A and B are shown apart, each in its own frame.
Chain A
Amino acid sequence: MARMLLLTMLVAALTGCNAEQSTLEVFGADARAIRHIAIILTSGAVIILAITVALYVRAVRAPEHSLNHEQGMRMILWVGAIGPTLILTALLLYALPAMRPRPADPGDLVIRVEGEQFWWRVAYWPSDNAPPLSSANEIRVPVGRTVVFELMAKDVIHSFWIPGLAGKMDMIPGRTNRLVVKAEKPGRYRGVCAEFCGLSHALMAFDVIAMEPAAFDTWLADARAITPLPAIATPGRALFDVQGCGACHTIRGTPHAGTIGPDLSRFGERMTLGAGILPPAIDNIAAFIRTPQQVKPGVRMPAYPQLSQEDASAIAHYLKGMK
């Protein structure tokens, strides 16, 4: 029975293993430091627990009158008070340097991220004074370069957390918090909102793509140099215009410049739909357009149940084509 329980717990714990969103699977310098501290703290705690248990067992099993009161009091003083104080002081001195913010230069890439119920407004601000590049629910960072996140919130407090990259940082309305990071390993990762922010808090995630610096520069240049879409009136594009999607969503190169919802200019290259929750398949996108509440309770986007399945799919095809 106990073995079954242990096995069940182990299997349940294993479901937490993944390479995309884990403090153990690190791709950034700060997350590596945090993991190192966590390993040292855990090992130390296990050693202290073992010593405590051993002392406890010895005290319980000792024959009567074999223990000396004076000795016991001295042990409480040293092992119970002075020892822990010294250990905690040493740990504080060891961990404090890691809490110091990473230094950043004015020339470093700034990525401004705003938390909103329940998605992420992203803007890349390179140092060349050019206008920023808007995006949403996906963050690309160059490997080996310092990146400054400027974190804000529109409605309630959110918390920005990419477990594999760095520690958490709260996003507080009316404030700008800075988080300076450095990615070390390319790959696809995931970040989440780590502060309860409403109904779909658990469905507020985002993709993180760490890229080689040269590839990142090419991507950024491509994304900023967006060319107007050809004036071919596809059914999806016409529907997007007619249904008024542009009141909330921006698609660069078209007259649509709404800023209430996520920027959809390069929606086709996104790896997930609805802020990191679904694969961006046509069916999923169509379902999200028609009944977003079913996918994401509390979402601010109005439902479009009047759209037929075909029309919703046509819009989905149009959006998927945006790269």
Chain B
Amino acid sequence: MKDRRPHWSERLKVTLWTLIVPPTIWTGHFLFSYLWASISCAKAGQFATFPTLFVVGTVLALILIALSGWIAWNQGRMPGGSTPHEDSTEIDRLRFLAKSTLLLAGLSFVAVLFTALPVIYLRDCL
């Protein structure tokens, strides 16, 4: 298996930039929640009575976060180096970034859910 072609999720290297993808999606979703609620209130006088667009946006955000979490999980298990993976080598740095991305993805996933639930439940614009 030495010369197998790396899976695309392994080729797409995590970096400090991809680390912030899950929290950025969370930020975007948070902003989207407020925009959606305020535009619904202004145009229709109420919100969460027709939350199709909001649910689609939330599911999209959750899928993207889960996807980046999955990529990070895959890369966090890249072979190479030895435990406890704390040297300043390429592979250890990658594993560290991947693990951090995975944890941030978990946090962002829960945060998006916790933002979306009140929006869907509450419908009073006042």
Contact = CB atoms under 8 A, between A and B. Distances in A.
Interface of A: 81, 85, 88-89, 92-93, 96-97, 99-101, 176-178
A177 B125 CA distance: 10
Nearest to A96: B121
Interface residues of B, number: 11
Interface stretch (B9-17, B24-32, B57-65, B111-119): B111-119
Given A85-B110, A176-B126, 6 more contacts: A89-B110, A96-B122, A97-B121, A99-B118, A99-B122, A100-B123
A88 B106 CA distance: 15
28 contacts: A81-B106, A85-B110, A88-B114, A89-B110, A89-B113, A89-B114, A92-B114, A92-B117, A92-B118, A93-B117, A96-B117, A96-B118, A96-B121, A96-B122, A97-B121, A99-B118, A99-B121, A99-B122, A100-B121, A100-B122, A100-B123, A100-B124, A101-B124, A101-B126, A176-B126, A177-B126, A178-B124, A178-B126
- Chain B binding surface SS class: helix
Nearest to B113: A89
Contacts of A100: 121-124
Contacts of A85: 110
B64 to A, nearest CB: 20
Contacts, number: 28
B66 to A, nearest CB: 15
Interface of B: 106, 110, 113-114, 117-118, 121-124, 126
State the 9 A-B residue pairs at the shortest beta-carbon distance, nearest first: A96-B121, A101-B124, A178-B126, A85-B110, A92-B117, A100-B122, A99-B122, A177-B126, A96-B118
A172 to B, nearest CB: 11
B86 to A, nearest CB: 16
Contacts of B106: 81
Contacts of A101: 124, 126
Contacts of B123: 100
A99 B122 CA distance: 7
Contacts of B113: 89
Nearest to A180: B124
A135 to B, nearest CB: 24
A204 to B, nearest CB: 23
A177 B126 CA distance: 6
A75 B53 CA distance: 39
A177 B114 CA distance: 25
Contacts of A96: 117-118, 121-122
| Residue of A93, A96, A176, A178 with highest tally of chain B CB at under 10 A | A96
